[in-house]
């Protein structure tokens, strides 16, 4: 093959997004690619000429293993959305000119639904202009909100991290012999997949969280407080998993409500409260018990020290499958994961038209939510449990997980 390959990462990172990068790189090299370029900071960096030759970075099979285990987007990322061709044709002309200069034949973009919009637009422009360059999407997002695919690489590891630390925090809540409420704030602005994953903590050796608040269900203050009060009559330590994106029936985010009074600190800057903190204050005020909020924070997307082996393997597979499909002539498509069975868990890859995926958000189906009990159903758990199975041990050096590193 004489054509070259380019690959980029876009949108928020995951703990396994670099495993997909490794899958693209290795499969392209195995198929005889001349050069595999990486665009730094996605299509935006590409436009600024930020391009690297990946073989300068991945020099051995050990490097490839380290790359898989390296959190965050190795190539950097962007949140740049391409304008419509009708609005700005020049940017497309620039991109394609640069691609031709690099003799690119295959273009891979690892990202979520916003990023798939880039693949959609570039492949449509290629079709319109008769370009032979093939554009393929590689799915990635901890949010699990991509259409057409059973689940997204990145979700399983975030879910495993969330369930593991939820178990640990539930234990921590039992330490003192006092009434307390712990609010776990979990990522997911519009889709409750990650927050629902806290239910996986429920197991032979753990009661699991007591309540789960998803953004798919409008938040009712009175009902919420009543439920917490009811649970606290039975047990002292109450643990509640809440999505950062829960909203009132009128559409306002719960965290917006808490900011209404617009508190300002002594330095004169506005204090922003998270959803967890707002709910902890609410509980403390209404029920008069100790309440604390724990934000699971950025670690949800970069805790590579406890990834799911199922997830990291599938992340690698979708990267490889995208290369295979492109080499076989596909373009304007995304690789999907297709579940064959829950138990034993079996999953293969498939391909799907990018137009049906770009900009579409998949939320938790209402039939998987037990609304009155603030929980997810057994169907949700059966769906999610296989995705957190098994581990890929970090390569530990001097007591810490080793990452692939390249000095700038």
Q: Which residues are catalytic?
A: 143
Distance CA 329, CA 6 (A): 16
Distance CA 176, CA 266 (A): 33
Dihedral (Cα; 151, 157, 162, 164), 10-degree rounding: 130
**Contact positions with a second copy (CB under 8 A) in 155-174:** 160, 163-165, 167-169, 171-172, 174
By CB under 8 A, name the one of 88, 94, 297, 359 that touches a second copy: 297
**Contact positions with a second copy (CB under 8 A) in 361-400:** 385, 388-391, 393, 396-400
Is 188 annotated in a binding site? The answer is: yes
Site membership for a second copy, residue 71 (CB under 8 A): yes
Eight-class DSSP state of 274 = P
Is 259 annotated in a binding site? The answer is: no
| Cβ–Cβ under 8 Å, residues 221 and 393 | no
Tokens of 38: 């990486």
Q: Which of 95, 91, 138 is nearest to 113 (CA)?
A: 138
Element (H, E) at 21: helix 17-30
Q: 3-class SS at 127? A: helix
Q: Of 89 and 235, which CB lies nearer to a second copy in the complex structure?
A: 235
In the complex, what is the shortest distance from the CB of residue 393 to a second copy, in angstroms, rounded to a whole number? 8
Q: Could you tell me which residues come within 8 angstroms of residue 189 by beta carbon, excluding any fewer than 6 positions away? A: 143, 215, 243, 244, 245
Distance CA 260, CA 394 (A): 44
**Contact positions with a second copy (CB under 8 A) in 322-341:** none
In the complex, what is the shortest distance from the CB of residue 362 to a second copy, in angstroms, rounded to a whole number? 23
By CB under 8 A, name the one of 27, 72, 243, 336 that touches a second copy: 72
Q: Of 3 and 401, which CB lies nearer to a second copy in the complex structure?
A: 401
Site membership for a second copy, residue 307 (CB under 8 A): no
Distance CA 315, CA 155 (A): 10
**Contact positions with a second copy (CB under 8 A) in 16-45:** 40-41, 44-45
**Contact positions with a second copy (CB under 8 A) in 244-263:** 257-259
By CB under 8 A, name the one of 299, 318, 326, 354 that touches a second copy: 299
For residue 302, the Cα-to-chain-centroid distance in whole angstroms is 10
Is 141 annotated in a binding site? The answer is: yes
In the complex, what is the shortest distance from the CB of residue 319 to a second copy, in angstroms, rounded to a whole number? 18
Tokens of 355: 């137009």
Site membership for a second copy, residue 199 (CB under 8 A): no
Residue count (the chain):
408
Is 252 annotated in a binding site? The answer is: no
Is 187 annotated in a binding site? The answer is: yes
Residues belonging to the binding site for substrate are 141-143, 187-189, 244
Residues belonging to the binding site for diphosphate are 12
Residues belonging to the binding site for Mg(2+) are 113
């Amino acid at each position: 093959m004489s054509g070259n390959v380019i690959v980029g990462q876009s949108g928020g990172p995951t703990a396994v997004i670099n495993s997909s990068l490794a899958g693209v790189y290795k499969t392209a090299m195995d198929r005889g690619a001349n050069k595999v370029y990486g665009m730094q900071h996605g299509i935006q960096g590409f436009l600024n000429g930020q391009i690297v030759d990946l073989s300068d970075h991945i020099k051995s099979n050990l490097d490839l293993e380290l790359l898989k285990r390296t959190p965050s987007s190795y190539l950097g990322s962007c949140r740049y959305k391409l304008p419509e061709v009708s609005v700005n044709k020049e940017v497309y002309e620039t991109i394609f000119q640069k691609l031709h200069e690099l003799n690119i034949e295959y273009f891979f973009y690892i990202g979520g639904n916003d990023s798939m919009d880039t693949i959609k637009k570039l492949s449509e422009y290629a079709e319109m202009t008769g370009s032979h360059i093939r554009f393929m999407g590689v799915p990635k997002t901890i949010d699990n909100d991509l259409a057409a695919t059973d689940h997204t690489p990145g979700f399983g590891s975030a879910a495993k991290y969330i369930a593991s630390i939820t178990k640990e925090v539930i234990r921590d809540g039992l330490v003192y012999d006092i009434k307390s409420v712990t609010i776990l704030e979990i990522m997911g602005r519009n889709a409750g997949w990650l927050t629902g994953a806290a239910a996986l903590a429920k197991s032979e050796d753990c009661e699991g969280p007591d309540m789960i608040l998803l953004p798919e269900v409008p938040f009712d203050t009175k009902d919420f407080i009543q439920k917490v009060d009811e649970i606290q009559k039975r047990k002292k330590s109450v643990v509640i998993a809440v999505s950062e994106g829960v909203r009132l029936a009128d559409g306002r985010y719960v965290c917006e409500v808490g900011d209404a009074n617009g508190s300002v600190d002594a330095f004169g800057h506005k204090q922003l409260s998270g959803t967890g903190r707002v709910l902890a204050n609410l509980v403390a005020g209404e029920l008069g018990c100790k309440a604390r909020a724990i934000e699971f924070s950025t670690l949800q997307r970069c805790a590579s020290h406890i990834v799911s082996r199922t997830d990291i393997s599938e992340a690698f597979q979708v990267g490889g499958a995208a290369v295979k499909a492109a080499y076989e002539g596909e373009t304007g498509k995304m690789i999907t994961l297709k579940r064959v069975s829950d138990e034993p868990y079996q999953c293969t890859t498939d391909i799907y038209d990018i137009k049906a995926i770009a900009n579409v958000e998949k939320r938790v189906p209402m039939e998987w939510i037990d609304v009155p009990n603030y929980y997810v159903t057994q169907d949700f758990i059966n769906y999610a449990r296989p995705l957190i199975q098994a581990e890929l041990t970090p390569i530990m050096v001097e007591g810490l997980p080793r990452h692939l590193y390249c000095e700038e």
